[in-house]
Structure 1
Amino acid sequence: MTATRRLAVCADDYGQGAAIDRGILALAARGRITALSCLVTPPRWPHAGPALHEVDVAAGLHFNLTEGEPLSAALRRHWPRFPGLGALIAQAHLGRLPAALADEFQVQLQRFVDVMGRGPAFIDGHQHVHALPGVRPVVLAAAQSLQLPVRNTGRVLGPGFAFKRRVIEACGGRALAGQLQARRLSTASALVGVYGFDPRADYRALVRGWLRDAPDGALLFCHPALGEPDPGDAIAAARANEMAYLASDAFAQDLDEFGVTLG
């Protein structure tokens, strides 16, 4: 089949753990991903970041507000540790997020620059927090100032997992998409990759469904890892399954069958 559609593939959570970093670097070296998104809040980030100079993929900022501790003193006064995702969503929709989120974003952005020697190629959010009310204006202001693409969570395509996809869209994704369009900021045409991280899931079957339905210019986000699982990683088994498929000949065959090229 003649290739007719382009798909970006972004591996999330680089910097979170050694297994995650190994997997992402291995896929980048093989040309199986086009982008990776960096968590800069973990202590390992200054040691993990320099390895990205050896791979030819776009590296973005994975803005984190749900795992670990804030980097900025201003936000630590409110939150010694980040709240979980559920608590963050509730506070966002009640209008109770601290103004110090803006300080935290700037510190995370600077930490990326300090290690990489350059700014990020794009911005997104760990667990899609960048689209939430109260977070979205901070991200949009930075993206407009720096003219950076932002991950689109306003059009999340299946198949399956409709409730989770609709929640992502409703928790700020649709509003984000509208504002990206109004500000003429670059973004993907749609987002695919949502599932429940069940290690029993047939990941190849899921990806084939996404490849079938993804429009030109869509983004597939993934969470690979390679080798001994990182301590405390709740989705380690799912990461291993994703890694095995994305590194396999089957992934290349499926791209060709559905007329999709990575780009």
Structure 2
Amino acid sequence: MSAARRLAVCADDFGQGPAVDRGILALAEQRRLTAVSCLVTPRRWPTAARALRGAQVATGLHLNLTEGEPLSPALRRHWPQFPRLGALLAMAGLGRLPPGLADEVQAQLSRFAEVRGAAPDFLDGHQHVHALPGVRHLVLAAARPWQRPVRNTGRVLGPGFGFKRAVIAACGGRVLARVARQQGVPQPSALVGVYDFDPAADYRTLVQGWLQTAPDGALLFCHPALGGSDPGDPIAAARQREAAYLASDLFVQDLAAAGVVLG
């Protein structure tokens, strides 16, 4: 009989809004999550973080470079507001990211630590920005001294959504994974959870496919929310479906059927 495969389940975007936070906290209380990735740029972050006290999950920094405004004055001189993802991808690919990014990474790390009382347990990026050229070396430099894991976006497994998975890996994910290995920075073995947030998607079927695909030590990232939607959230409907499935007995049954344990 083969040993069960271990899977980390990380809920992204904690701190974005009350509905997101409610969904994540409810799943953490049920022990359906192993990790929570936190946005520290919203003004509500200190209040949101208080609700995480006592939660039995790892907590990490969800580095944000695409929504709201920078924390650091050095970057705000160039970007009063963060650019949209498409513009950020273009600037990173052309090597035209502005000065001040190092200050911003440190500002977000410091804000996390000031509120939580400790450095993040792991590092990743909102919309996978942590892997971009001009950003990834800053993230790895932050993770290396404490041997904090960094999300692996170089091995993004399916089934389905092959083009989106390939884009994520190509936009710095493969290079990040290689350099992290060279530098001894820990990473999950793979990433699963990529889809298009289609309101008609059958999330259970998607998860079943990811559970079959995920190797030992992989990470499933998710985006739950509960009790309504936060203003301006384009994936609010998908968040509600994710939360409902992950909270259900069906998720537990699907884990067992696939020979997967959370850890």
The equivalent of 2:242 in structure 1 is 242
Distance in 1 separating the partners of 2:3 and 2:200: 31
* 1:93, distance to aligned residue in structure 2 (A): 0.6
- Residues 1-263 of structure 1 aligned to structure 2 (within 5 Å): 4-263=4-263
Q: Tell me the secondary structure at the aligned position of residue 54 of structure 1.
A: coil
With the length of structure 1 as denominator, give the TM-score of the two structures: 0.99
Q: Tell me the secondary structure at the aligned position of residue 52 of structure 1.
A: coil
* 1:145, distance to aligned residue in structure 2 (A): 2.3
Distance in 2 separating the partners of 1:7 and 1:146: 23
Q: Tell me the secondary structure at the aligned position of residue 240 of structure 1.
A: helix
* 1:184, distance to aligned residue in structure 2 (A): 1.0
Q: Tell me the secondary structure at the aligned position of residue 53 of structure 1.
A: coil
Counterpart residue type for residue 165 of structure 2: R
- Segments of structure 2 that go 5 or more residues without pairing to the other structure are none
Residue-by-residue CA offset, 1:107-157 (whole Å, 9 max, x unaligned): 101100111111100000000000000001110111112321100000000
With the length of structure 2 as denominator, give the TM-score of the two structures: 0.99
Using the TM superposition, name which of 71-80 and 136-145 deviates more.
136-145
Distance in 1 separating the partners of 2:216 and 2:242: 22
Counterpart residue type for residue 179 of structure 1: V
- How well do the aligned residues superpose, as a CA RMSD in angstroms? 0.9
Distance in 2 separating the partners of 1:27 and 1:38: 15
- Is the contact between residue 150 and residue 186 of structure 1 (CA under 8 Å) also seen in structure 2? yes
* 1:52, distance to aligned residue in structure 2 (A): 1.1
* 1:3, distance to aligned residue in structure 2 (A): 5.3
- Over the matched positions of the two proteins, sequence identity in percent amounts to 71
Q: Tell me the secondary structure at the aligned position of residue 51 of structure 2.
A: helix
* 1:2, distance to aligned residue in structure 2 (A): 6.7
- Segments of structure 1 that go 5 or more residues without pairing to the other structure are none
The size of the alignment, in residue pairs, is 263
* 1:228, distance to aligned residue in structure 2 (A): 1.6
Distance in 1 separating the partners of 2:136 and 2:211: 29
